[in-house]
Amino acid sequence: MKQEVFIQKRKESWDRFEASLENDKLKKNASWFPKAFRELTQDLNITKSQAFNPALIERLNRLVLEGNQRLYGQHNWSIRNFLDFVVLDFPRTVRKRWKGILASQLLFYGLSTFFAILVTQQASSIYEIIPTVQIEQIEEMYNPDSPHYLTPREVSSDADMFGFYIYNNISIAFRTFAGGILAGIGSLLLLAYNAVFLGSVAGHVINKGYTDTFFPFIIGHSSFELSAIILSGYAGLCLGFSFFIPGNIRRSTAVGRTAKQIIPLISGTALMLLIAAAIEAFWSSRHELGELVRLSVGIGLWVLLILYILLSGRKARHV
């Protein structure tokens, strides 16, 4: 087919295609667009095989690229997908990788317990771990006699704390995750830092006798928050491991595969931290409810979380 004849025949379709891409009136063209796209791909084939004008090939190439994006780029956000994620994907992924996750948890809690015991036995060691200024801030936070006992930080309202916790904690989790691809070092460092900090503070609080303010405060959100941080660290470690020890496949393939598998983990982490922020901001500082109520609710949340991870999504969903 001669080039001029070909262009004459097809020009109108191409111009219309290009116009519909730019004006984004896809809804109006919904039935015509896929057919036009298929014809366009055949046109590209013809121009390439017949070695027509390179400028024409370039134009068709660009139209195919853009058309491909529009046709296959429709995202499918629905409540159903979200519920599927929460009930099925996330717990199943956690269970599938339980060995690694358990190892990360042992690492974290082992470190924090060690440092908690260390600080309770050797009270002065806390000053070598955490800066004195920060220790004084913590003491002020949990000292029952402190005048600012009900408002742990300068910001006063609960909603503001909610925003702060989201900004702070989820950023920490994301960084813990991202650091993992660097041979796992970033994740390990951040996990270790958090574990040491938590353990030392717990030990110091026990030394000072502030247990009645500290433990009821943290018990509520600790289940979600600690588990989420550990999960994000684990996800980062997975990435780093697949990058440096890819086995017998290409490095990029190994990382790509692992990344696909752990996307549910990191999304779940963000959700858990959202819940933890809500609990921490709106519930944990309600001292007026008394310690027993807060402790029992906190322990209840721990139990619920463990049951959720163990049991949710075990039965195959029958459509």
Partner 1 sequence: MRGYSSTKDQDSVISVQTPEGISFEVHPAGIMVRLCAFLLDGTIQGILYLILAVLFAMFFQNIGTWIMLLAFFILNWFYHVLFELFNNGMSPGKMVMGLRVLSSNGSPVQPGASLIRNLLRFADSFFYLYLIGLLSISISSGFRRLGDIAAGTLVVYRFEQFTSPLYTAKNSGEPRLEIHHIHTLSYQEKQAILSFTHRYPLLGPLRAHEIAQPFVAELDRSQKDNAAAFLISLAEKVQG
Summarize as ranges the residues that interact with partner 1 (CB under 8 A). 3-4, 37-38, 41-42, 44-45, 47-51, 53-55, 57-58, 61-62, 64-66, 68-70, 72-73, 75, 155, 157, 159-164, 166-167, 170-171, 174-175, 177-182, 186, 239, 251-252, 255-256, 258-260, 263, 266-267
**Residue 3 · residue 52 · CB < 8 Å:** yes
**Is the CB of 96 or the CB of 251 nearer to partner 1?**
251
Nearest distance from residue 263's CB to partner 1, in Å?
Answer: 4
Cα first-last separation, the chain:
52
Question: In the bound complex, what is the minimum distance in angstroms from residue 132's beta carbon to partner 1?
Answer: 27
With beta carbons less than 8 A apart as the criterion, state whether 29 and 20 touch: yes
Q: Provide, rounded to whole angstroms, the least separation between the CB of residue 63 and partner 1.
A: 9
Least distance in angstroms from the C-beta of 38 to partner 1: 6
Distance (Å, whole) CA 121 – CA 39: 78
Which of 93, 92, 37 shows the shortest CA–CA distance to 69?
Answer: 37
Q: Which of 277, 262, 296, 304 is nearest to 101 (CA)?
A: 262
Nearest distance in Å: CB 29, partner 1? 17
Local structure of residue 2 (DSSP, 8 states): -
| Nearest one of 199, 193, 164 to 179, comparing CA atoms | 193
| Smaller CB separation from partner 1, 23 or 252 | 252
Query: Given the complex with partner 1, which of 126 and 254 has the nearer CB atom?
Result: 254
Q: Closer to partner 1 at the Cβ: 36 or 297?
A: 36
Closer CB to partner 1, residue 82 or residue 127?
82
What is the number of residues in the chain? Answer: 319
